[in-house]
Amino acid sequence: MRVLIDECVPRQLKNWLAEAHDVATVFDAGWSGMKNGALLREANQRFDVLITADQNLYHQQSFAGLTISILVLPTNRLRLVRNTVPALLQSLNKLRPSQRIVIDLGADSVRRPELKLDRIVEEGDLTRHVFGL
């Protein structure tokens, strides 16, 4: 899967996902500072999914005509993003084109990176991946 990591997400995520996916950062693509709408249109041509921590992206942008999926992390704090990687990989494996997914790790994510995908909740045009023990 071709994965693009947004500027608001720690760049180290690229290395943590690289074994399983073809990963680039917005910086690598030469799109630093690009506004979200333009970024989505450009990324749609080259990537399957954009990973972001921008909780409002899927509300603020139009996805009409786009096939890129959006995966929203619960945080952009380095330590917590690192703990999120196992959950993130599970979500990437379930991803469908044009899907907007929010990862919900609950309060245990800080101490328990071994959380498993517990349920998938469809909320209109948004999908919530809920993780638990």
48-84 pLDDT, tens digit per residue, is 999 999 988 777 777 778 899 999 988 888 988 888 8
Greatest alpha-carbon pair distance for the chain in Å reads 40
Domain of 68, in residue numbers: 2-132
Residue 88: Cβ-neighbour burial (10 angstroms; 0-12, 13-18, 19+) = buried
Q: Which pLDDT belongs to residue 87?
A: 84
Tell me if 13 sits within 8 A of 51, measured CB to CB.
yes
pLDDT at 108: 55
Sequence length of the chain is 133
- Calculate the alpha carbon distances from 44 to 38, 66, 67 in Å: 10, 6, 6
φ/ψ of residue 33, rounded to 5:
80, 0
**Helix extents (H) in the chain:** 13-17, 26-29, 36-46, 57-60, 78-94
- Number of folded domains that form the chain: 1
pLDDT value, residue 81? 86
What amino acid is encoded at 39 in this protein? L
Low-confidence ranges of the chain (pLDDT < 50): none
